Amino acid sequence: MEKSRILVVGGTGYLGRRIVRASLDDGHPTHVLYRREIGVDIDKIQILMSFKKQGAHLVEGSFSDHRSLVDAVKQVDAVICAISGVHIRSHQILLQLKLVDAIKEARNIKRFLPSEFGMDPARMGHAIAPGRVTFDDKMVVRKAIEDAAIPFTYVSASCFAGYFVGGLCQPGNIVPSRDSVCLLGDGNVKAIFVDEDDIAMYTIKTIDDPRMLNKTLYIRPPENILSQREVVEAWEELIGKKLSKSSISVDDFLTNLKGQDYASQVGLGHYYHVLYEGCLTNFEIGDEGEEASQLYPEVTYTRVKDYLKQYV
């Protein structure tokens, strides 16, 4: 079977660049949106040029130019959007409504994957403010997709390892300490951690998979379903040393959250749901979804203990 042609939007991003690489590695004709607005951002230009060298087609376009988006979309079979959605970096989730309009007009797209890649927003209706904005905006985009009857796959990628494993699940930390760690509550709530390259690989596998049409892919690699304590223990084993441990109660965590700037409050709200509430592991996947490691057992995913080795 011929592989679908894929357009990646947000291809220079933290996740987007991995999706471009995974698409090329898997042999998909890969197009990457080159936004005029990036101007003289030399790092982005170099990333785009490296994609070109690897065989990607750069397609010029802009979110402020509807026609350019329609033209870009018309050249491919599937669109993956990895536009920014983390407030400490940038949050542009609703811009995707313009992409949805373009896909609606072009009418040739067999699969659209919007920028999700986190907790399942459909299960976060109860989320605390202001962090709930991430889920609310992602649900606005879902509604537009479904109203336009655009074939979709949603990817619920759980926790990016770079943020959560790197920082031993402590907000504001992305490199593991060799001395101490603060546990969120008792540190025993189970979360799920996924290497970002694995997220990209699983994402690409859904594109030509009819089992994932109009469904949610939940990425839950079984050996990476761990509590914060278990992540810390894996690190302690690697460095051959026990860390000194303190803990922050849920009440203190939520009180502390209120005094922070807006972007930090959003992020802390997400940590609350993942590590106190257990929102990634407190439900069974229903008919609306499939689990990635079961669907694609041929993928060897990165175990948390191996991910941590880079920091030793």
| Contacting positions for ligand NDP (CB under 6 A) | 10-16, 33, 35, 38, 44, 63, 82-86, 89-90, 92, 95, 115-118, 134, 157, 159-160, 163
Helices (H) and strands (E) in the chain, counts: 12, 15
List alpha helices for the chain, DSSP H.
Answer: 16-25, 42-53, 66-74, 96-106, 132-147, 161-164, 196-206, 228-239, 250-258, 262-272, 292-295, 304-307
**Beta-strand pair 6-9/30-35:** parallel
**CA atoms of 237 and 182, how far apart (whole Å):** 18
Minimum CB distance to ligand NDP, residue 277 (Å): 15
Residues with active-site annotation: 138
3-state secondary structure of 135: helix
Half-sphere exposure of 55 (CA within 13 A, CB side): 12
- To ligand NDP, the closest distance from the beta carbon of 37 in angstroms equals 7
Q: Strands 215-218 and 289-291, how do they pair?
A: parallel
18/111 with CB nearer ligand NDP? 18
User: Quick one: CA dihedral 132, 254, 276, 228, positive or negative?
Assistant: positive
Q: Whose Cβ is closer to ligand NDP: residue 62's or residue 236's?
A: 62
Q: How far is the CB of 256 from ligand NDP (least distance, A)?
A: 21
Taking alpha carbons only, the member of 11, 312, 84, 306 closest to residue 178 is 312
In sign, the C-alpha dihedral spanning 262, 266, 269, 271 is negative
Query: 169 vs 183, which CB is nearer to ligand NDP?
Result: 169
**CB-based closest residue to ligand NDP:** 13
Question: Which residue lies nearer to ligand NDP by CB, 89 or 241?
Answer: 89
Nearer residue to ligand NDP within complex by CB, 85 or 187? 85
Pairing of strands 111-113, 90-91: unpaired
Q: 7 with 32: CB under 8 angstroms?
A: yes
Nearest distance in Å: CB 163, ligand NDP? 5
Pick between residue 84 and residue 247 the one whose CB is nearest to ligand NDP. Answer: 84
Got the DSSP string for 171-182? TT--S--SSEEE
CB of 240 to ligand NDP, least distance (A): 29
Q: In degrees, to the nearest 5, what angle opens at C-alpha 92 toward C-alphas 91 and 94?
A: 125
Q: How far is the CB of 8 from ligand NDP (least distance, A)?
A: 8
Name the token pair of 49. Answer: 């040029």
